[in-house]
A and B are shown apart, each in its own frame.
Chain A
């Protein structure tokens, strides 16, 4: 079945530091890949997505590239802000009849001023 393995946290960075959160996946075929963010007390929000190999998703300074050869979708940001503090989830959705999103366990990011 499908699975997502995500870098364990928590991750604590200073403002303006570089961020990488690793994500690898196992799936048959060509899944779509997503990063969701969850701020305290809120539901999940889509941060970015990529639907085929070598696609780069980007939003709000965050980027992730769909690497089929390494089955990875690492999240990066060049300069984090305090407001980026949240829990980040990597997820995939299989092609064909698969309906559900399969999530990783989440990475808590705290950015200090």
Chain B
């Protein structure tokens, strides 16, 4: 049990729709990052937020956006859903803003299916 909770656990959407995924960080953590894990693949970094500001972004288009709130919980928003967006979306929290040796605590993920 990592203390990182994600909701919902499963979601089905159709192409072109918009989706919001939510993450509650572990207590005391001020940094949250999001990853996309396609079936049979390793997770791919989407972006990271530190104290409500985005401070790192992977190779994902602008229709992937996020927010971090004052309580350090976070949202991932995806607009104009495409079939290839079907994946497990993982949230991870940490307490040190992205230092190279820090430990990340992952949630169990949201499984998104786009039909």
Cβ B43 vs Cβ A101 within 8 A: yes
Q: Which of B4, B43, B45, B109 has the most CB of A within 10 A?
A: B43
- Nearest-neighbour CB distance to chain A for B103, whole angstroms, equals 6
**How far is B41's CA from A95's CA once the two chains are assembled, in angstroms?**
24
Cβ B90 vs Cβ A101 within 8 A: no
Partner-binding segment picked from A13-21, A37-45, A68-76, A77-85: A37-45
B97-115 CB mask vs A (1 if < 8 Å, else 0) is: 0101101101111000000
Cβ B45 vs Cβ A102 within 8 A: yes
- Nearest-neighbour CB distance to chain A for B81, whole angstroms, equals 23
Cβ B106 vs Cβ A106 within 8 A: no
Q: Which of A46, A95, A98, A102 contacts B104 (CB 8 A)?
A: A46
| Pair count A-B, CB < 8 A | 64
- Nearest-neighbour CB distance to chain B for A68, whole angstroms, equals 15
Given contact pairs A43-B2, A43-B109, A100-B45, A32 touches B40 in the complex (Cβ within 8 A): no
Cβ A100 vs Cβ B100 within 8 A: no
Which residue of B has the minimal Cβ distance to A106? B42
Which residue of A has the minimal Cβ distance to B55? A99
**How far is B107's CA from A94's CA once the two chains are assembled, in angstroms?**
22
Q: Say yes or no: is B48 at the interface (Cβ < 8 Å to chain A).
A: yes
Q: Say yes or no: is B30 at the interface (Cβ < 8 Å to chain A).
A: no
Q: Mostly helix, strand, loop or mixed at chain B's interface?
A: loop
Given contact pairs A44-B43, A45-B106, A100 touches B2 in the complex (Cβ within 8 A): no
Q: Within B77-111, which residues are at the interface with A (CB < 8 Å)?
A: 90, 92, 98, 100-101, 103-104, 106-109
Q: Say yes or no: is B58 at the interface (Cβ < 8 Å to chain A).
A: yes
* A44 proximity list for chain B (CB < 8 A): 43, 90, 92, 104, 106
Q: Which of B2, B41, B90, B92 contacts A106 (CB 8 A)?
A: B41
Cβ B2 vs Cβ A99 within 8 A: no
Q: Say yes or no: is A103 at the interface (Cβ < 8 Å to chain B).
A: yes
Report which B residues bind A (CB closer than 8 A): 2, 4, 33, 35, 40-45, 48, 55-56, 58, 90, 92, 98, 100-101, 103-104, 106-109
